[in-house]
Amino acid sequence: MDRTGSHLIQLITSDRGKLPARFLTGITVLLLILAGSPFFNGTEIGANADTNPYASPSILNLTNTGPTSSGSFIFWDTNVSTNNRVYYGLNESDVNNLINGSWSIWDNSTLNISIRVSGLSANTTYYYKPESWSSTANDSVPASLLVTLKPGVWASPSEYMVSPPGWTGSPVNFRTVNISAAILNDNGRYIPGLSLEAVIYNSTGTEIGRTNLSGAGPYSGNFTLPDYLDEGGYVVRITGYPNVAGEFSVLRWGCANCHTNNYPSTFNATTVHPQHFDTTNITSLNVFHCGDEQCINLDTQYYSTSQCDGCHAFSYPNLQLFGVQHPQSGACSDCHRTPSGGNAALICENCHNDITSGDSYLSPRYGQDRHYQNATCNDCHNNLTSLITKPNCTTCHPRPGSILSNMTIPDSIENTTHSTQKTVPCGLCHNREHDVKSLYTLDATVCRTCHSGITHNMGAQCTTCHGKDPHNISFNAGPNCIGCHGIGEVALHQVNSSAMNSSDAIHANLNRNATNSTGISAENKKCWGCHDSTGSQPANDSMGSRFSNPYKCYDCHNGTAKPYDNVSSAPNVSQHFLNGTSIKAALNASDNSSSCIVCHNLTEMKVDYTGDNYGTNFSLPSHYGRSRALDPQVRQGNATDCTYCHQNTSTVFVVAMMDLNNSNISNHSLRYNNSNPPCVQCHNSGWIHNSTLTKPALTLPNSTFCLSCHGNNGSGGTNYSGMVTGIREKHNNTINCTECHFNISRDIHPVKYLQPDESYSTSNSTGVNCTNCHQDPAFYPNLSKTPPKIPYPLHHSDNPSNGTRWNSSGYWDNTSEITACIYCHNDTKHKAAALGRPENWRGNNIVNSSIVNTSNWCAGCHYQGYSNGGKNYENMTSTFISANLPVPPEITNGTYAVSTMSDFYYHNLTPDYNDSTCKTCHSIGLNNGAMDAFLHNITARDCSGCHFSYDVMNSSRSPTAPARYVNPDMFNESAHGNVSCRNCHTGGHNNIGARKACEDCHAVRDPDNPRERHNITGDPYSYKVGGVSVVYITDCTICHDRNLYNNATATYGFNKPVDCNYCHTYPDKNYSSW
């Protein structure tokens, strides 16, 4: 047997209780099959049957309508006529594997499938998988997703009757949709004062019409359907509220199933039902069968269908009795029976469904009728005596057991129910009558479908506190909180009140000044303290005005507004929480109170407790918080011991720290541990949350904060008496302390030192010194001020033995430039007067000025006659003597002159001892005129150091200096190459011009011929030979014959074959001094 025939057998046998109701259709279909009806001929199914009877089905264009709170239509197309259904459930994988879900009803023998998946839970995600079967194969696609809406819109009743096109119009009252809408707030209450519009759509999403709803909740209104609509499911949506939707079904009258020739022109709403079937068992009551005037025996009583042939003896095969076309075969009882199965009049489906469509029970295409699955039509409709009489929920549901066999029905259901005001219609929770759904549990998930703003959860079942009957919600509560919530009491959420009363429980005495009435334990005062807005005993059966939204930590522990008098003494929390005034913690918390529990919900912050079976992050620390006031680990007198959290790498409180490194904060200094200041020095004293605690606003760059300890207290000491490093000041009064000691503000724990590679380290021995900042032009551009730069290398003398040339014990170490800095300036890294020692005698000399003849920096150290701006030479000498340092060498004949040492020059300078005069000889090659470059690039050369360099002589700014240039190569090749300059030129600058003449050493000058010598020019640079200045000519043979020159130099001269006296004989002269 093919799948179609098998399915029809399933339809007939799937519900034995409905077998009589389905028997006619099933037998008819089977007869059609046996007769070879082309309707069920597998070779003629579908669009492709004529050309390809064995084509496999393919699922195309799968979609769904926008779901409502209980279901959705699923649509798809196939390429061949198929039998179809949908598998659906809550888990995508399960649905794809066809397990743990449900099958929909069938939609058979069609290319355009429309299946209603119904009875779904509201506000829930479902997955659905369509499947299509043909006679040869089947097709399916992976599961798709839909999300049902919240409940909120319903129509009563759920089915409406219209006429097929061409028939007499259906009465308006059968086409008037009664629409109700419940727009709820987060607490599940009706929102009043709305103007709602309902929009009606068919199953394909086409709008049918609109209507306004009025009221105060639920809102209601009517919409009259156009006649001759298509059968199917219709959806009601509310403009502006896309999260709710309702639905109803439209059916067509099935009169033409029997009345083929004389379809009634009007409906008699009071007699249609009695005229067509008895509303009770025909064998148990004496009722009139027929109200039609054509009935012969109007007063005849009928008890059984065996009496039918009294009037209907010729009912088949061809007779149309009273204009009713009868079947060609079958017995009277095939149609004339009660919905409950007894022999009576007609079955409901003959009218309430168009049986020509092939459906065999009430509206299967619109969803599985949950009522019809458990009962027959007559169970609900047995009292229908007219079309205008319809049942409601209370017809069956006011009493235990009702008339539904083996069904437990709550005994409190009313037309409106559930809330204490009894304002909730049945349809809001249970959907429409023929698509009713049961809420098998009322856990928090189900209840929050409507009550989304209710956040408390007392257990799996909301009915624990609100009554076991969801149709009669109550508040079985009152002020005796411990009586229900104590350990071993009735409430699912149980609190250990004994633990709350522990000696170190932080809230043991909370709200103790509240008044409790007789019979209500004082233990409840703690509960009221958080769960009632005034902390007072709740009245009657109230559990407190803040039962579901208790006060949280910061509501009471803020410093501005306590909620009521009894908590006015609650300690103020000012520091160490999310919005601490200066010390913040738990920055990831959503609010102040949430930041409190980051620490206070840790195990060590709670007393021992057992039995609490539903503690939350807030309730646990509130109920069992532990006071640490007397704990020596964390408190020392009036101050909190910071090290318990901040010098403890294993601390659990790291969870609240904005920086994980805060669990291991070092002392301020690693170099001076014996003098490290205590935490209170910077953070003040107080307990952990006291407002007295501070975190200094250490913005960078900064000196104010550092100098509050390291600075001068005005009495020659530091502001912090424990300081061992001495008074500190901003370097040069411009560079902030933090620029050299902090990369970031947290570098204060421990303080760091700027390194030559521009990093920061706790090593002070490798930190930067003067040379890093004042010699490297690219060093650390982040400094707020650019330091003045001096030459590199530093030369206060370019003599290789500088620092010890005039003092064997040394002024500084010439291998360490920093020692020269310190000798002259002292260590001024932490001095506002960074110039150091020279500040004591500089007078009116200007730092880093140009070199002018009015400044005398050089004289300040080296000339005993120095005086400037009220300062003099003695100020300088006393500065060095008091520092136990050697006084710089003096250049005349003063006390500190080194005239006894070789190479000493007596500086008898003209016109005076100004810096411009000094620069003439001691700044060889210095092009700029700045004192900082000059003083750190001093040249201290001998005669050859200047006179052997034409560039030097030419740059001295002396007009006669270029003429004093001596070509070193020519000099060294000359007869005097091994003669010291001072052998001819007397020592001392003052009379250096009194050089010896040749005659002074070599002859008695002929007074009659004083110019007997070479004709030496006074401007050798301009005297050129072959276009080249003689200054640059080092080869004598450029001017002299080479052969003669070579012969002469090889033959004549000192210690040569022909001695000097061969030509230069002067008997009076003693040449032995050579």
Mind giving me the DSSP string for 696-715? ----SS-SHHHHHHHSB-SS
- Cα–Cα distance, 409 to 412 (Å, whole number): 9
pLDDT tens for residues 204-250?
889 999 999 998 878 999 999 998 888 778 899 999 999 889 888 88
Residue 307 pLDDT level (bands cut at 50, 70, 90): low
Mean pLDDT of 192-201: 93
β strands within 468-564, DSSP E = none
Nearest-CA neighbor of 667 among 613, 626, 611, 722? Answer: 722
- DSSP 8-class letter at 763: -
How confident is residue 197, by pLDDT bands cut at 50, 70 and 90? very high
Residue 511: pLDDT above 60?
A: yes
- 120 versus 945: the higher-pLDDT residue is 120
**29-38, 303-312, 1042-1051: which has the minimum mean pLDDT?**
29-38
Instruction: Give, in degrees to the nearest 5, the angle at Cα 364 between 363 and 369.
Output: 85
Which pLDDT score is estimated for 794? 85
Binning pLDDT at 50, 70 and 90, where does residue 872 land? very high
Residues 6+ apart with CB under 8 A from 902: none
Question: Residue 379 has what pLDDT?
Answer: 64
Residue that wins the pLDDT comparison between 32 and 778: 778
pLDDT classification of 394: cutoffs 50, 70, 90: low
Local confidence band at 319 (pLDDT 50, 70, 90 cut-offs): very low
Instruction: State mean pLDDT over 149-172.
Output: 80
Mean pLDDT of 806-818: 88
Q: Is 482 helix (H, G, I), strand (E, B) or coil?
A: helix
DSSP 928-987: S-BHHHHHTB-----HHHHHT-HHHHHHS--TTGGGG---HHHHHHSTTTTS-HHHHS-S
Predicted local confidence at residue 365, as pLDDT: 43
Q: Using CA of residue 45, residue 46, residue 49, residue 55, what is the dihedral sign?
A: negative
Average pLDDT over every residue of 503-511: 92
- The answer on pLDDT for 277 being more than 80 is no
Q: Is the CB of residue 989 less than 8 Å from the CB of residue 905?
A: yes
pLDDT at 577 over 50: yes
Q: Which of 365, 397, 358 is nearest to 380 (CA)?
A: 397
pLDDT of 963 reads: 76
What was the pLDDT predicted at 444? 67
Average predicted confidence (pLDDT) for the chain:
76
**pLDDT value of residue 1017:** 56
> Which residue, chain included where needed, has tokens 């309902």?
198
Q: In this predicted model, what pLDDT tens digit does every residue of 80-106 receive, in sequence order? A: 888 899 999 999 999 999 999 999 878
pTM for this predicted structure: 0.49
* φ, ψ for residue 277, nearest 5 deg: -165, 155
What's the pLDDT score for residue 350? 58
Q: Name the residue with higher pLDDT: 1007 or 14.
A: 1007
Domains identified in the chain and CATH numbers: 8-17+254-391 (no CATH), 42-148 (2.60.40.10), 950-1062 (no CATH)
Choose between 150 and 476: higher pLDDT: 150
β-strands 241-252, 159-162: how paired?
parallel
In tens, the pLDDT along 1027-1047 reads 876 656 667 777 677 888 788
